[in-house]
Amino acid sequence: MSNIVLGDKEYFKGIGQVKFEGKESDNPFAFKYYDENKVVAGKTLKEHFKFAVAYWHSFCGTGGDPFGPGTRVFPWATNSDPYQAAKDKMDAGFEFITKIGAPYFCFHDFDLIDEADTMAESQKRLDFITDYAKEKMAESGVKLLWGTANLFSNEQYMNGASTNPDFKVVARAGAQLKGALDATIKLDGENYVFWGGREGYMSLLNTNMKREIDHLGQFLTMARDYARGQGFKGNFFIEPKPAEPTKHQYDFDAATVIGFLREYNLMDDFKINLEVNHATLANHTMQHEMEVAASAGLLGSMDANRGDYQNGWDTDQFPTNLNELAEMMMIFLEHGGLQGGGINFDAKLRRNSTDLDDLFHAHIGGMDNFARSLMIADDILTKSNYSKLKADRYASFDSGDGKSFEEGKLTLEQLAKLGDNTQLTSGKQEMFENIINNYI
Amino acid sequence: MSNIVLGDKEYFKGIGQVKFEGKESDNPFAFKYYDENKVVAGKTLKEHFKFAVAYWHSFCGTGGDPFGPGTRVFPWATNSDPYQAAKDKMDAGFEFITKIGAPYFCFHDFDLIDEADTMAESQKRLDFITDYAKEKMAESGVKLLWGTANLFSNEQYMNGASTNPDFKVVARAGAQLKGALDATIKLDGENYVFWGGREGYMSLLNTNMKREIDHLGQFLTMARDYARGQGFKGNFFIEPKPAEPTKHQYDFDAATVIGFLREYNLMDDFKINLEVNHATLANHTMQHEMEVAASAGLLGSMDANRGDYQNGWDTDQFPTNLNELAEMMMIFLEHGGLQGGGINFDAKLRRNSTDLDDLFHAHIGGMDNFARSLMIADDILTKSNYSKLKADRYASFDSGDGKSFEEGKLTLEQLAKLGDNTQLTSGKQEMFENIINNYI
Amino acid sequence: MSNIVLGDKEYFKGIGQVKFEGKESDNPFAFKYYDENKVVAGKTLKEHFKFAVAYWHSFCGTGGDPFGPGTRVFPWATNSDPYQAAKDKMDAGFEFITKIGAPYFCFHDFDLIDEADTMAESQKRLDFITDYAKEKMAESGVKLLWGTANLFSNEQYMNGASTNPDFKVVARAGAQLKGALDATIKLDGENYVFWGGREGYMSLLNTNMKREIDHLGQFLTMARDYARGQGFKGNFFIEPKPAEPTKHQYDFDAATVIGFLREYNLMDDFKINLEVNHATLANHTMQHEMEVAASAGLLGSMDANRGDYQNGWDTDQFPTNLNELAEMMMIFLEHGGLQGGGINFDAKLRRNSTDLDDLFHAHIGGMDNFARSLMIADDILTKSNYSKLKADRYASFDSGDGKSFEEGKLTLEQLAKLGDNTQLTSGKQEMFENIINNYI
Amino acid sequence: MSNIVLGDKEYFKGIGQVKFEGKESDNPFAFKYYDENKVVAGKTLKEHFKFAVAYWHSFCGTGGDPFGPGTRVFPWATNSDPYQAAKDKMDAGFEFITKIGAPYFCFHDFDLIDEADTMAESQKRLDFITDYAKEKMAESGVKLLWGTANLFSNEQYMNGASTNPDFKVVARAGAQLKGALDATIKLDGENYVFWGGREGYMSLLNTNMKREIDHLGQFLTMARDYARGQGFKGNFFIEPKPAEPTKHQYDFDAATVIGFLREYNLMDDFKINLEVNHATLANHTMQHEMEVAASAGLLGSMDANRGDYQNGWDTDQFPTNLNELAEMMMIFLEHGGLQGGGINFDAKLRRNSTDLDDLFHAHIGGMDNFARSLMIADDILTKSNYSKLKADRYASFDSGDGKSFEEGKLTLEQLAKLGDNTQLTSGKQEMFENIINNYI
C-alpha cells in the first residue's frame, strides 16, 4: 500500500488511508473484501487487478449531463491559471489515489491540464504537467496503466478524428496523437488506448464508410510504427463501443474489432480494452465480450463500470452486481487474467452525488465487489465440479472420430456416414446456475 | 412473366395472374409499381431483384407463436400421406409463385416434405419431392435462388448443430447438410445458405465458445469442399442474426461474419445473406449492414422483411417503410446490386391474417415497395446532386498530402507536422435528408 | 411440509422430498436457504412466500419455441385418452409439488386437461379433472393460489378475447371465463388472475383502441359481478405485460393497469400480479413495478422469473440474481408483503434442459434465492441504518412549511415566497448501494 | 405569412422568406408541400398545425453532447451583457421565425435570457426580456404557443424540482414556476407546459416514490389554482417521457400521465403534450401515444421530432419518415386535431450541422413532411375504403347482443350462453398497410 501523497493542501480532509478491515467491519471507509496482499489463485489481489483510477471522471467530471451543467464543486478547481489549476488537480488526484490505495491511474491528454486555443500552447501545457506527474508518480509509487488522446471532445472532431472526411482534421488528430503517445512513453505508461468516440457516423447518407475505416486502419498503423520507433514496448488497446456519441461507432464490439485488427494486420500489437457498459450497450454481456476477446488471445484490459439495463446510454455507474461480477471473474481466471492491462474504474458518480466522500464510497464498493467476486470465482473453479461438468460436455471431441473432425481430417461424406439420430443430452443450465449461487 | 402452373386443383381460386397496372390502379390484386420489364439503371426490375418466395413462411407456416398454435387452414394440407401432402403443397406453392410472378423460390430441406423419424426415410422423401420439384420448375420456368438445411428445428439440435457439444449430433447435422446440398445441386440452385439458428449458446456457463466456433469453421469448410467437388459453382451465404432462438448466435451481424470468414479462410466462397429484421435486432439499420457487407465485396443476397422497432423479437413482417427501403436501394445501386443472390421474401403473414388472399396482398405490397424504392433511389443517384455532395466531402484525400496519407506514405511525424486547427465543415445531414424525401 | 403424494406410479424416481440442509450442504437436491419454518420478520418463510408451482410450464410445456418443437418427453403424457392423460399429468404434478414442498399451485383451465373441439365437451373435461384435483388437494394439503382462463392460445382469440372486434368471440371468451371462474371457486382458489395475452393489437391501422378497452372494462366488471354473486371472496388480479404475443398489450405495466382500474371503477376488487420478466420487457425494474403497485395498495401477487437483458422477448427463466432479488424483497418487506397472493414460479426450463431432475434444480434454486434474499432484505432493514438514511432525506416535509405544503395548505404565492437558492444535498446513491452489498 | 422582422442587424443573410414553390421546385430554400393557405379537411395547413419554433434548440443550443462542447458559433451570442445578449438572440430568433413563416414559438423561461446567480436578478431579467418579446410579437404577429419553466437544468434541481426530498428546493421551484406562469400570461401564451425532466429518480434505493408523486400532484394543483386566479384560460399540458436524465421519470408515457391526472383530479385543466422521441423511448409508437391521449380527450399538443431506433437516448432529430408521419396524421384527423396546442419543433440540428442555413433545411424538411403527410392522411380517410373497413370490423357491437354487451346490459351468465366457436375473421393487416402506401 502506498503512502498518502499530498500537495500543498489536503483536499479530502477527515479521510485517511482506506484499509482492509474484513467483512464484519461497519466502517464505511474500510475495505470489507479487498485485501491487496491476499493471494488468490497464485497472485495477490493487487497483482490480479492492477486497479486504476480514471483521471477524467474522478477529478475533472463535475456531473454535467445533456439536461444540466455540473453539480460538484471541486476545491482543487479554483485557480484561474491553467498551470496552477492542473497542479492542484494533480495534487488532489494523487491524494485520492494514494488514500484509496490504487496502484495505477489512467488519463486522456487533456484531463491532466486544460487544452489551449493553439496546439503549440496545448503541447507546452502537456509537457509541463507530465513533468509534474513524473514527480508525483515517483513520490507515490503510483504507475500509469495507460494513456490516451482525447480525440472526441474538441469541436474539430465533430465529423470524426482519424475518420474525418477532411484530411486537415486527420492531420490535427495525428499531431495530438503524437503528443499523447509521447506523454505516455514519458510516464512509462504500460499501455496505450484508442477509444474512437467520434470514429463512426451520424448518418450513412453523407458517409463513405469504407474509406473512413481504411483511414482508421492507416492511422493506427502509423501510431504503432511511431511508438515502436520510440521504444514503446507496451500494448495498444482498442476499446469497443457500439454508439454514442455517434449513431454508429466503427469499433462496435469485440468481434468487430478483432475482424478489423485481422484485416489491417494489427493483431500482433493491438489487444482489446473492454468496458462493461459498452458491452451491454452492444447487446452483449460483459462475460460474452471477455470470452470473445480471450478466445482470440486479446483480452488486454478492462474498464470497470456498469450500465443500466432500462436506459439506453452510457451511465458508467460503479459496479455492484455480484452475480455478473462473479461470472466475469470466472472467465478472467479461466483465461489467466488480462494481457498487460488492469481494471480501470471508468465509472462516475451520479450527478446528484455531490459530497467529496462519495468518491470514496464508490471506489470502495467497486474494489470490494471485484475482490469478493474473484474469490467466489476461484472457489467455483477450484472447489466445485463446475469445470469438470463443462469439460465433460465436449469429451466426444477428445478422441476418435470427434477428434478427427476437430482436426479437419474428415470429409463431409465421411462425417455424413457417421450421422444418425441420437440421445438428447440436457444442457443442465439451471444446475450450472445453482452452482454459481452456492458460492456467492 | 411465367404462366400460371397448376396441379390437379386450383388452390387460390378467383385470383389470376397479378399484373402491373400502374399507380393509378385501385385493383388490390395488381402491381402499382412492379413492372418486371421496366428498365432502371440498365437492368429490368426482374433482373435487379430476382424476387423469391420463401417456401416455409408461405406454404408451411400456419401462424403458430409461443402463445398459441397456427390459425391458417391450408387446403393443400389435408392428405395424411406425407408424399401426397408434399405434392399438394408444391402444387399450391407453384400456383402462388406463378400467379404472383416471382421468378424464384427458396427452401429448407424439410419445408418441401415432412421430415421422417429415420434419416433414411427422410432422405427418401427428399429425393421424391425434389424429383417433383424438377418437373414443376421445368414447367413453370421458376428457379431456385437458394436451398438450405434446416439445422435448428429438430430437437436433436437443441444444443446446436455443427456447434453441438456432442460429436454425434455434429455428424447427424453433417448427414443432413449433405442431403440438402445434394438437393440444391440437383435443382440447379444458384446459391446455398447457412443460417445457424442454434449455432450459439443459451448460457455461457456451460459453453466452450472457442471450441464451438472452431467446429463451425470446420463444418463450413467441409461443406464447401464437398459441394465444389460435386461441381457446385454457386455462392455460399451466411445469414447473420444476433440471437433468437439462442441467447447469442455466433453469426451476430455482418461484421462478425466477415471476421469469421477471414479467420477461417472462407472469403473466396462465402458471401453474406442479410435480413432486415436480423439487422435491426442487432441494433443496426439494414443500410448499415448492406454497407458493411458491400464494402467487403460480400453483399450476396437479401431476405426482405421488417421487424418492429418496439418489439424485441423477429417479427418477419412484409416491408412497408418507403424511407428505409429507398435508402437501402441507394446502397444497392451504388454497389452494383447483389453478388449472385436476390430478394427473398423471408416474411410471414400476421397470425391473424387468415384469408388465402392475404398472401397476395402481402407479396404485392412487398414487391411494389421494392420496385418503387429502387426507382426513387435511381432518381436520387442520377438526378440530384446527392452523389456529388457526398464525394466532395472526401475530396481532400483525392490528391496531395491527403492522398499520400490514404496510400500509407506518411509517417505519424510527417502527419503531425501538417496538423493544426482548421475550419469546421458542416456535415449537412438535414440537407441530405431533404434530398431523399424530395424524390420519394 | 406436506407428504409426498403419488398416483399409480412414481414419475420422478430416485428423488425424494427436498429438504432444508443449510448452506454448507453439497446435496444438489436439498435447500440451502429455504427452511419453510424459519421465522423472518414475524412470519415463517412458508407464510411469506406462499410458493406456487405453475402447472403449464412444469407439467405441460415441452420446450417448443418459434424455431422448433418441444424437446422434453414427459412420462405422464403417453395416454391417448384425454381423461386418463389428464389424471396422469395431475399425478405427476402433485408428486412434484409435494416433493419440492410448495404449498400452492396455479393453473389455466386447459393446463389441467386438453381443450376439446366443442365447448360442451371441454366443460365436461374440466368438470372431471377438477373433481380429481379436489381429491389430490385434500390428500396433499396443497392449495390453489389462483386459477385463470387461457384466453389467448385458442385460434378463436387471434384478434383478442374480450377485446375482439367480433362480438361472437367475446361471447365465447365469456363462456370460457365462466368455466374457469367456476373451477377456481370449486377448488377454493384464493385468487383469480387475468393475463390478457391477446388483449391488445397487432396493428393500430385496423384497431379501434378506445372501443376495445371499453369492452375489456365491461368484461372484467361482469366477471367480478358473477364471481362475487357465486360467493367468491378472493382477489382478482391483472397481470401487466407490455407486448408479446401482441405488438401492444393494453395492460402494459403497473401504472397503466392502475389507471385502467381507476377509470373503470375496479379498484376495490382488483389488484396486480406482477411478473419480473414482464417488468423488464416494459423497461422497468421489478422493484419499480412493485413500488408502483404497492404505493397504490395493489401489490397483490408475483410471478417469479427473470428475463434476459440482452434479448427482447419473454424468456421466463428461473430467478438467480441476488442483488435484484434482495432489492425486491426490501420493497416486499417495507410494504408488508403481498395482498392475498404469493410467489408463483412462472418460469420454465430452457429448451435444452431435458432431464426430469432439471425441474428440481430450477425450483430449488428459485426458492433458495428468494429465501436468501428475504433474509438479506430483513437484515438491511433491521440491522443497518438504511431505513433511517432514507427517511431523513424527506424530513423537511415532516413539520413546518414542508408539512403544510404536503397537506395542501399553501398557495403557489406562499410557496414562491419561501423559495430561494439553497445548499445542495448529495443523494449518496453509491453509499446506499454499498449498504446492500454489505448484507448479501 | 408574416413579414420578416429584423432587429438592428440581419443574422441569416442571404436567405429571405421561405415560400411555397411546389413539389417540382429544386430550390432548397422553398417549401415543396407546406402551403400555409392550402385547405385540407376544412382548415388551412397553418390552422391545422400551428407550427412553433423551439427557442432553446434553435437559438440557444450550440450542439454540446456528453462527449464534447458545442460546435455552433452564433453571431447573436457575442455580447457579454446578458440583457443585450438576450435582445440580440431575440432579434435573431424573430428573424428566423418570420423567415421560415412559423406562426408560433415556444420557450422555457431561461431560454429567453440567461439565469442569474440570484432569483431576484433572474426575475428582473425575465421581466426585461418579456417586455421586449411583447414588442417583437406585436411587430411580427408571431404568437406564443406555450411557455414553461426550466425546472431541470439548474443544479438546485439535481434531486428533482417539485419532487425534491428537500422542501427548500420545492419552494425554489415554486418561485420559478410562478415567474414562468406570469411570463406566459403576460405574453398571451395559449398554453403552459410541464416537462418534469428531474421529476423521477436515479435510484429507488434512496427514494420514497409515493411521497414524491404526491408532491408532484400538489405542485400542479397549486400551479393550476394560481394561474386560473390570474385569469389564464389556456391549457396546461404534461409532456411524458420515460427516462433521461433520470433513470425513471414519473410522467413515463401517456397512459401513466392520464392515470396520474385522474388520481389527482386534474383532468379538467390538464392535457398531454406528446413528443415523438419520448414515445419511442417508452417503447411506443407515436401513433399509439396519440391514440391513447386522444381516446381520453387529452391530445393537447405535439412536439415534433424523431428518435433513432438503434440508439437509446433522446436524439431529437427533425422528422423525416413519411410512413410514420402519415399514420400519425391519420389519427390527428380522425380525432379532430389537437386540443388547444400545435406542432412545436422540439428538434435540434446534429452537432456537426454547423452552418447557419442548416436550421432552414431542417425546418423546411420538417414542415414539408408534416404538410405532405396530412394530405396523404386526408386522402386515405376520404378517398379510400380505409375507414369503412375499419368500422366494419366492429359492426357486431352496433346492434343486438353486441350492443347490449357494450352498454353493460348483459351478465356474464347471459354472455356465456351466447358463446360458442365461430368463424375466424382475418385482420387483413397487410391489406391495410397496402392502402397506406398507395396514397403516399
Q: Residue A66: is the preceding peptide bond cis (ω within 30°)?
A: no
- What predicted TM-score, i.e. pTM, was given to this entire model? 0.98
Per residue in C317-374, pLDDT (tens digit) is: 999 999 999 999 999 999 999 999 999 999 999 999 999 999 999 999 999 999 999 9
| Residues of chain D with C-beta less than 8 angstroms from the C-beta of C262 | 259, 262-263
Does C167 contact D204 at a Cβ distance shorter than 8 Å?
Answer: no
DSSP C172-196: HHHHHHHHHHHHHHHTT-SEEEE--
Question: What's residue A2's pLDDT?
Answer: 57
What grid cell was written down for A299?
483480452
Q: Are B98 and B142 in contact (CB under 8 A)?
A: yes
Residue D221: burial class (beta carbons within 10 Å; 0-12, 13-18, 19+): middle
Tell me the percentage of chain B whose pLDDT exceeds 90. Answer: 99
Residue of chain D whose Cα is closest to the Cα of C154: D421
Alpha carbon B54 to its chain's center = 10
Find the residue in C nearest to D121 (Cα). Answer: C420
Q: Looking at chain A, which residue has its C-alpha nearest residue B330?
A: A205
Q: Say how far apart CA C323 and CA D17 lie, in whole Å.
A: 60
As a residue count, chain A comes to 440
Contact C153 B69 (CB under 8 A): yes
The identity of residue C208, as a single letter, is N
Record: contact A438-C32, CB cut-off 8 A: yes
Exposed e or buried b per residue across B266-280, where buried means at least 16 C-beta atoms within 10 angstroms of its C-beta: beebbbbbbbbbbbb
Inter-chain touch D362–B430, beta carbons under 8 Å: yes
Whether pLDDT at D1 is above 80: no
A245 CB neighbours in chain D (<8 A) are 65-68, 351
Please give the pLDDT value at position D88.
98
Q: Please state whether beta strands A52-54 and A43-44 pair in parallel, antiparallel, or not at all (unpaired).
A: unpaired
Task: Decide if B155 and C71 are in contact by the 8 Å CB cutoff.
Answer: yes
User: Which of A119, A123, A168 is the best mutation test for B, with the most CBs of B within 10 A?
Assistant: A168
Write the residue in B252, B402, B425 that is nearest to A255 by C-beta: B252
Residues in A touching C32 (Cβ below 8 Å):
438
Burial A350-373 (b: 16+ CB within 10 A, else e): bbbbbbbbbbbbbbbbbbbbbbbb
Q: Which residue of C has its CA nearest to A25?
A: C438
| CB contact (8 A) between residue A368 and residue C283 | no
Residues of A in contact with B428 (CB under 8 A): 206
Q: What pLDDT score does C2 carry?
A: 58
Please identify which of the residues C48, C57, C108, C278 carries the catalytic annotation.
Answer: C108
From CA A58, how far away is CA A344, in angstroms rounded?
12
**pLDDT tens figures, C307-318:** 999 999 999 999
Cell numbers at residue B128, please?
A: 421424391
Amino acid at B177: L
For residue D143, count CB atoms less than 10 angstroms from its CB and return exposed for 0-12, middle for 13-18, buried for 19 or more: middle
CB atoms within 10 A of CB C336: 10
- Residues C12-26, mean pLDDT to the nearest whole number: 97
If pLDDT is split at 50, 70 and 90, which confidence band does B351 have? very high
Alpha-carbon distance A221 to nearest alpha carbon in chain B (angstroms): 9
Q: Which residues of D touch B23 (CB under 8 A)?
A: 438
List of chains touching A (3+ CB pairs within 8 A): B, C, D
Report the percentage of chain A scoring pLDDT > 70.
Answer: 100
Residue numbers in C near B69 (CB within 8 A): 153, 155
Amino acid letter at D72?
Answer: R
CA of B98: how far to CAs of B4, B19, B87, B101, in Å? 5, 11, 16, 5
CB A172 within 8 Å of CB A222: no
Q: What is the pLDDT of residues D18-64, one digit of tens each?
A: 999 999 999 999 999 999 999 999 999 999 999 999 999 999 999 99
pLDDT digits (tens, 9 = 90+) for B365-397: 999 999 999 999 999 999 999 999 999 999 999
Identify the CA nearest to B89 among candidates B11, B29, B4, B31: B11
Tell me the CB-side half-sphere exposure of residue B250, using CA atoms within 13 A: 30
Question: Per-residue b/e over A32-48, b at no fewer than 16 CB within 10 Å?
Answer: bbbbbebebbeeebbeb
What angle (nearest 5°) sits at the alpha carbon of residue A197, between those of residues A192 and A198? 125
Nearest to C285 among A310, A365, A424 (CB): A310
CA distance B114 to chain C (A): 14
pLDDT at B2 over 70: no
Residue D322 C-alpha, separation from nearest chain B C-alpha, in angstroms: 7
Give the C-alpha separation, B157 to B150, whole Å. Answer: 10
- Using CB atoms, which residue from D32, D369, D431 is nearest to B361? D431
What residues of A are labeled active site? 108, 111
Pairing of the two strands C104-108 and C52-54: parallel
Task: Return d(Cα A207, Cα D437) in angstroms, integer.
Answer: 29
Q: Would you call B310 and D284 a contact, using CB atoms and an 8 Å cutoff?
A: yes
Residues of A in Cβ contact (< 8 Å) with C352: 426-427, 429
Name every chain B residue with its beta carbon within 8 A of the beta carbon of A173: 419
List CB contacts (< 8 A) between B118 and chain A: 421
**Which residues, including other chains, have CB under 8 Å from residue C423's CB and lie 6 or more apart?**
none
Burial class from Cβ neighbours inside 10 Å (0-12, 13-18, 19+) for residue D24 reads exposed
Under the phi-then-psi rule, with left for phi > 0, alpha for psi from -120 to 50, and beta for the rest, what region is A189?
A: beta
Interface mutation target, options B434, B435, B439, B440, chain D, most CBs of D under 10 Å? B434
- Contact at CB, D156 and C424, closer than 8 angstroms: yes
Instruction: Indicate the pairing of strand B43-44 with strand B39-40.
Output: antiparallel
Report H helices in D70-166.
82-100, 109-112, 119-140
Interface test with D, best of B324, B430, B432, B433 (most D CBs within 10 A): B430
**Cell digits of residue C403:** 408539512
Q: Which residues contact C191 (CB under 8 A, 6 or more apart)?
A: C145, C146, C234, C235, C236, C237, C273, C300, C301, C340, C341
> Residue B213: pLDDT above 90?
yes
- Those residues whose C-beta lies under 8 Å from the C-beta of residue C407, and which sit 6 or more positions away, are none
Main-chain phi, psi angles of C271, to 5 degrees: -130, -170
Instruction: Tell me the pLDDT band of B3, cut-offs 50, 70 and 90.
Output: confident
Q: Quick check: C158 and B68 CB within 8 A?
A: yes
Instruction: Tell me, letter by letter, the H, E, C secondary structure of A377-416.
Output: HHHHHHHCCHHHHHHHHCHHHCCHHHHHHHCCCCCHHHHH
Give the gap in angstroms from C-alpha B376 to the nearest C-alpha of chain D: 13
Q: Tell me what the mean pLDDT of segment B127-154 comes to.
A: 98
Q: Contact B436/B326 with Cβ under 8 angstroms?
A: yes
Look at residue D382 in the predicted model and tell me its pLDDT. Answer: 98
As beta bridge partners, residue A104 has: A52, A143
For A49-99, the pLDDT digits (tens) are: 999 999 999 999 999 999 999 999 999 999 999 999 999 999 999 999 999
C-to-D residue pairs, Cβ atoms closer than 8 angstroms: 278
Q: Which amino acid is at A162?
A: S
Arithmetic mean of pLDDT, D393-422: 98
- Residue by residue, DSSP assigns B234-301 as SEEEE---S-SSSSEESS-SHHHHHHHHHHTT-TTTEEEEEEHHHHHHTT--HHHHHHHHHHTT-EEE
The active-site residue, picked from D35, D88, D111, D303, is: D111
Enumerate residues 6+ apart whose C-beta is below 8 A from B254: B240, B272, B274, B284, B289, B292, B293, B298
pLDDT exceeds cutoff 90 at A29: yes
Nearest CA in chain C to B72: C155
Give B422's contacts in chain A (Cβ within 8 Å): 156, 166, 168-169, 172
| Residue C249: pLDDT over 70 | yes
Shortest CA gap C200–chain A (Å):
23
| Residue D160 amino acid letter | G
Q: Please name the chains neighbouring D, where neighbouring means 3+ C-beta pairs under 8 angstroms.
A: A, B, C
Chain mean pLDDT for chain B:
97
What is the model's pLDDT at position C244?
A: 97
Of D175, D208, D397, the CB nearest to C416: D175
Helix (H) or strand (E) holding A185: helix A167-186
CB-based contact C434 A361, cutoff 8 Å: yes
Contact A421 B172 (CB under 8 A): yes
Shortest Cα distance from B313 to chain C (angstroms)?
6
Sign of CA pseudo-dihedral D328, D334, D335, D337? positive
Flag if A352 and D248 touch (Cβ within 8 Å).
Answer: no
Q: Which three cell numbers stand for residue A17?
A: 488511508
Q: How far is A294 from chain D (nearest CA, A)?
A: 28
Q: What is the length of chain D?
A: 440
Residues of D in contact with C180 (CB under 8 A): none
Predicted pLDDT at C333:
98
C-alpha cell at B264: 477461417
pLDDT digits (tens, 9 = 90+) for C64-108: 999 999 999 999 999 999 999 999 999 999 999 999 999 999 999
d(CA A393, CA C32): 27
Residue B253 phi/psi, 5-degree rounding, is -155, 180
Is B67's CB within 8 Å of C281's CB?
no
The partner residue sitting opposite B437, judged by closest CB among D320, D362, D438, is: D320
Q: How far is CA A214 from the centre of its chain?
A: 25
Nearest to C397 by CA among D171, B104, D433, B74: D171
* Residues C371, C31 contacting (CB under 8 angstroms): yes
Residues in CB range of D52: below 8 A, 6 or more apart: D102, D103, D104, D105, D106, D145, D146, D342, D343, D344, D345
